[in-house]
Amino acid sequence: MATTELRLLAGSSSVIPGPTNIGVIETDAGAYLVDSGNDKEAGRKINKLFGERALELRGIVATHSNADHIGANDYLQRLTGCRIFSARAEKAFIESPSIEAAFLWGGYTPNALKNKFFEAKPSNVTDVFADGDELPCGLTAVSLPGHFFEMTGFVSRDGVAYLGDALFGDAVLAKYKIPFIYDVAQFRSSIEKIKTLDAEYFVPSHGEVERDIAATAALNLSKVAEVEGILIDSLGERRSFEYLLKTLCDRMGVTLEVGQYALIGSTVRSFLSYLANEGAIEYEFADNAMLWRRTK
């Protein structure tokens, strides 16, 4: 994580580029982060950077509660006493991070998922925001659900849009092939909403800062359509979840391990729910197996 670099975008709005891009908003009363990064080490680097620039950390604004976005919350909050802002649904995950791994797995989690990539250390959310709220640092909350329950982006007074995981950069999509999506319909709607934002800079948490987000938005929508198409194409006959997960990963060049099984498996279930709700596929139980097939 290149936390030694603070890249000014406009006015008092900056970004710390890295595997998870971190926003920085400077005010007369101190500085605020948009997300905190992966872990305690990210927090140490942020603290060092702030010390070098004589910045006082006043708050951390969470786009959502995934571990790679809140991993340094605990360290920084204990060190500085800073406030933490989140949407209401994300608060539960931030304060009890073990919920995330259990949600992804669908039950009590195996030890292989009990690590910093799936379970950040808990931190205390001091302030809850809603769509359209303006935070003390001047950020306006923009509801962008789909990737996670109450994913939120923020637009600064300087016209910088911090998008969290509402969409992903092209290099990230090329590397991981299948993005994690909780609600397919909302993911699509949020991307359409991003295209209408009045902003000069767009900052995905995983991707490059862009002046025009249209191409990246189109790429994300194309990826959703690709996953949907493969699943529907695989359902000419009755198929199990495991068959569909394997077929999707084989077709998209993904090699599963336990972490990817949890993430992509959850995503596949979300797609199946979406397609069933839309009437494109249906399920039945045969010999105690849940089997899916397309209806059209």
Q: Please state the domain extents for the chain.
A: 7-225, 229-294
How far is Cα 274 from Cα 5, in angstroms, rounded to an integer?
41
Residue 57 near residue 50 (C-beta atoms within 8 A): yes
Query: What integer pLDDT is reported at residue 84 of this predicted model?
Result: 98
3-state secondary structure (DSSP) of residue 207: coil
Distance CA 159, CA 162 (A): 10
- Report pLDDT for 116: 94
The answer to whether residues 267 and 181 touch, using CB atoms and an 8 Å cutoff, is yes
Q: Which two tokens stand for residue 27?
A: 């005010």
* Residue 166 DSSP code: S
pLDDT tens by residue, 171-210: 999 999 999 999 999 999 999 999 999 999 999 999 999 9
The C-alpha atoms of residue 217 and residue 213 are separated, in whole angstroms, by 6
What is 7-225's CATH number? Answer: 3.60.15.10
CA atoms in the 13 A half-sphere facing the CB of 55: 20
Query: Measuring CA to CA, which residue among 206, 147, 150 is closest to residue 180?
Result: 147
Residues 6+ apart with CB under 8 A from 171: 207, 208
Q: Report the distance separating Cα 9 and Cα 209, nearest Å.
A: 9
Strand 140-143 relative to strand 152-155: parallel, antiparallel, unpaired?
A: antiparallel
pTM, two decimal places: 0.96
Which tokens belong to 41? 């080490």
Amino acid letter for position 2: A
Q: Are strands 152-155 and 281-286 parallel, antiparallel or unpaired?
A: unpaired
Phi/psi for 119 (5° steps) reads: -135, 100
Mean pLDDT by 10 residues, the chain (296 residues): 78 97 97 97 97 97 98 98 98 97 97 96 98 98 98 98 98 97 98 98 98 98 98 97 98 97 98 98 98 93
Rg (CA), the chain: 20
Q: What is the pLDDT of residue 296?
A: 74
What letter does residue 203 receive in the DSSP assignment? E
pLDDT at 154: 98
- 3-state percent breakdown (helix, strand, coil) of the chain, nearest 5: 40, 20, 40
**Fold of domain 229-294:** Arc Repressor Mutant, subunit A (1.10.10)
Residues 67 and 82: their CA atoms lie apart, in Å, by 19
